[in-house]
Amino acid sequence: MDRLISTYILAQTDSQEQAEAAIQDIVKDVGTNPAKLLQLVQGLGEYLTSDEAFVRSKATALLSTTLATLDQSKVNASAVNVLVEFYCDRLTDQACVPELLKGLLALSKFDKFTGVDCVKATKAILSLVNVQTYQQTARHYVFLFFDSAIRNYTQSLRSISSDFVFGFIQCLDGEKDPRNLMLAFTLIKNIIQEFDIAQHVEDLFEVTFCYFPITFRPPPDDPYGITSEHLKVGLRDCLSATPYFAKFALPLLLEKLSSSSGSAKKDSMETIAACAPVYGSSALTPYAEELWSGLQNEARDELEQVALHTLQVITTELSMGVSMGGSNDPVEKFLRPIITDCMTQLQKPELKLAKPSGKILKACAMASDPACTAITLATIPTLLSQYNTSEQSTRKKALLDVLLDFLDASRVLYGSAGSKEPEHDTDFVTPLLTFKDRFFEIFTNALMSSNEYNALRLAGVKGLHGMILLREFLSETEISYAVQYFVRIVLEDPDIELQETALNSLASLSLIMPEVVRNMALPAFFEMLPTSQNDMEVDTVIQKKSPEYILNAVTKIGLEPTLFADIVPQILEKIDLVSTDFTGASSTYPVALLTTLLVVLRAKAELGHTDLAQYLDNLVPRLLAMCIYPTLTTNDADHIMKNPEILDVVAGITRVVMIHVDAAAQNEFVKAIFNIFVHGQLSVLTAFKENVSPVPFQPLHFESRISQQNTSVLFSTVIDGCRQQTILPVNSIHEFTGSLVEVAIKTSNITQRTALSKAVATILNKFNKGNVLQAFIGQELVPKLHSMIHYEQASFEARESALIMYTWITKAMVLSTNAIGYDMTGELMNIFSVPRLGKIAADGFNLVIGEQRDVLTKETFAVLRLLYKQRFFNYSIPVLVRGFENSTHEVRHNFLIALSHVLRNIPKQVLLTELPPLLPMLVHSLSFPDPELKSSTIETFQIITKDAPGLMAEHLATLTPLLISLTNSQDLANTMKVRIAALKCLGAQPKSLPFTALRPYKAQVLKELEKSLDDRKRLVRREAVECRSQWFTLSGSIGSA
Amino acid sequence: MTTLINQNPIIYEASANNSTREWREDEDLEDSVDLIDAQEIFDLIRSISDPEHPLSLEQLNVTQRDHIQVSDENNSVLVEFTPTIPHCSMATLIGLCIRVRLLRCLPARFKVDISVRKGTHQSEHAVNKQLNDKERVAAALENSHLLEVVNQCLATATSGGVVANIVKGPAIAN
Q: What is the pLDDT of residues A856-895, one digit of tens each?
A: 999 999 999 988 999 999 999 999 999 999 998 889 999 9
Averaged pLDDT for residues A556-584: 87
Superfamily, domain A907-1039: Leucine-rich Repeat Variant (1.25.10.10)
pLDDT band at residue A817 using 50, 70 and 90 as cut-offs: very high
Does residue B148 register a pLDDT over 50? yes
**Does A353 sit within 8 Å of B7, measured CB to CB?**
yes
Q: Which residues of B touch A1025 (CB under 8 A)?
A: 44, 104-105, 159
Mean pLDDT rounded to a whole number for chain A = 88
Q: Which residues of B touch A1022 (CB under 8 A)?
A: 159-160
pLDDT band at residue B81 using 50, 70 and 90 as cut-offs: very high
Does residue A585 register a pLDDT over 70? no
Averaged pLDDT for residues A770-789: 92
Any A CB within 8 A of B152 CB: no
Pair type for strands B76-81 and B68-71: antiparallel
State residue B173's pLDDT score.
44
Any A CB within 8 A of B25 CB: no
Range with lowest mean pLDDT among A714-728, A941-955, B17-31: B17-31
Residue among A404, A504, A988, A496 nearest B16 (CA): A496
Does residue A531 register a pLDDT over 50? yes
- Contact by Cβ (8 Å): A869, A825: no
Does residue A213 register a pLDDT over 80? yes
Interval B32-42: pLDDT, tens: 888 898 988 99
pLDDT band at residue A1041 using 50, 70 and 90 as cut-offs: very low
The shortest C-alpha distance from B118 to chain A (Å) reads 23
CB proximity list for A1010: less than 8 A, separation 6 or greater:
B107, B108
Interval A459-476: pLDDT, tens: 999 999 999 999 888 899
State residue A1040's pLDDT score.
32
Distance CA(A272)–CA(A278), nearest Å, equals 10
Q: What percent of chain A has pLDDT over 90?
A: 50
Averaged pLDDT for residues A77-101: 88
CB proximity list for A27: less than 8 A, separation 6 or greater:
A65, A66, A69, A70
Residue among A576, A552, A559 nearest A518 (CA): A559
CB atoms within 10 A of CB A44: 24
Domains of chain B: 35-154 (3.30.300.130)
Q: Give the residues across from A351 on adjacent strands.
A: B10
Q: Which residues of A touch B157 (CB under 8 A)?
A: 1029
**Does A1022 sit within 8 Å of B159, measured CB to CB?**
yes
Any A CB within 8 A of B33 CB: yes
Any A CB within 8 A of B2 CB: no
**Does B107 sit within 8 Å of A599, measured CB to CB?**
no
**Out of B7, B169, B174, closest to residue A853 by CB:** B174
Q: Which residues of A touch B70 (CB under 8 A)?
A: none
Q: Which residues of A touch B12 (CB under 8 A)?
A: 394
Counted across chains A and B, CB pairs separated by less than 8 A come out at 101
Any A CB within 8 A of B3 CB: no
Averaged pLDDT for residues A945-971: 90
Does residue A327 register a pLDDT over 60? no
Pair type for strands B111-116 and B76-81: parallel
Q: Which residues of B touch A493 (CB under 8 A)?
A: none
Distance CA(A84)–CA(A77), nearest Å, equals 11
State residue A686's pLDDT score.
74
Residue A897 vs residue A44, higher pLDDT: A897
Any A CB within 8 A of B73 CB: no
Which residue is closest to B168 within chain A, CA to CA?
A: A548
Distance CA(A216)–CA(A180), nearest Å, equals 13
State residue A68's pLDDT score.
83
pLDDT band at residue A425 using 50, 70 and 90 as cut-offs: low
The shortest C-alpha distance from A1014 to chain B (Å) reads 5
pLDDT band at residue A61 using 50, 70 and 90 as cut-offs: confident
| Rg of chain A taking only CA atoms, in angstroms | 40
Give how far Cα A285 sits from Cα of A310, A363, A664, Å: 15, 19, 69
- The amino acid at A456: L
Does residue B1 register a pLDDT over 70? no
Domain residue limits, chain A: 907-1039
Residue A190 vs residue B9, higher pLDDT: A190
**Does A976 sit within 8 Å of B53, measured CB to CB?**
no
Does residue A539 register a pLDDT over 60? no
Q: Which residues of A touch B171 (CB under 8 A)?
A: 552, 599
Distance CA(A485)–CA(A475), nearest Å, equals 15
- Contact by Cβ (8 Å): A862, A762: yes
Does residue B165 register a pLDDT over 50? no
pLDDT band at residue A716 using 50, 70 and 90 as cut-offs: very high
Does residue B26 register a pLDDT over 80? no
CB atoms within 10 A of CB A18: 14
Mutate to test the interface with B, among A984, A1017, A1028, A1031 (most CBs of B within 10 A): A1017
Averaged pLDDT for residues A416-440: 79
State residue B15's pLDDT score.
60
pLDDT band at residue B164 using 50, 70 and 90 as cut-offs: very low
Q: 76-105 in B: which are within 8 Å (CB) of A? A: 104-105
Any A CB within 8 A of B17 CB: no
Q: What percent of chain A has pLDDT over 70?
A: 94
Interval B82-113: pLDDT, tens: 988 888 888 899 999 999 999 999 999 999 99
State residue A39's pLDDT score.
79
Mutate to test the interface with B, among A544, A980, A1029 (most CBs of B within 10 A): A1029
E-only strand ranges, A559-618:
none
Averaged pLDDT for residues A387-409: 90
Averaged pLDDT for residues A670-690: 84
**Does B159 sit within 8 Å of A1026, measured CB to CB?**
yes
Q: Which residues of B touch A1014 (CB under 8 A)?
A: 107, 109
Which residue is closest to A345 within chain B, CA to CA?
A: B8
Distance CA(A757)–CA(A744), nearest Å, equals 7
Q: Which residues of A touch B53 (CB under 8 A)?
A: 352
Does residue A379 register a pLDDT over 90? yes
Instruction: Give me the sheet containing B111-116, strands edge to edge.
Output: B68-71, B76-81, B111-116
Helix, strand and coil in chain B, % to nearest 5: 35, 10, 55
Which residue is closest to A297 within chain B, CA to CA?
A: B1
- Contact by Cβ (8 Å): B135, B100: no
State residue A828's pLDDT score.
93
How far does CA A849 lie from the centroid of its chain?
27
Q: Which residues of A touch B159 (CB under 8 A)?
A: 1021-1023, 1025-1026
Interval A738-766: pLDDT, tens: 999 999 999 999 999 999 999 999 999 99
Residue B6 vs residue A624, higher pLDDT: A624
State residue B161's pLDDT score.
43
- Contact by Cβ (8 Å): B98, B63: yes
Distance CA(A213)–CA(B126), nearest Å, equals 51
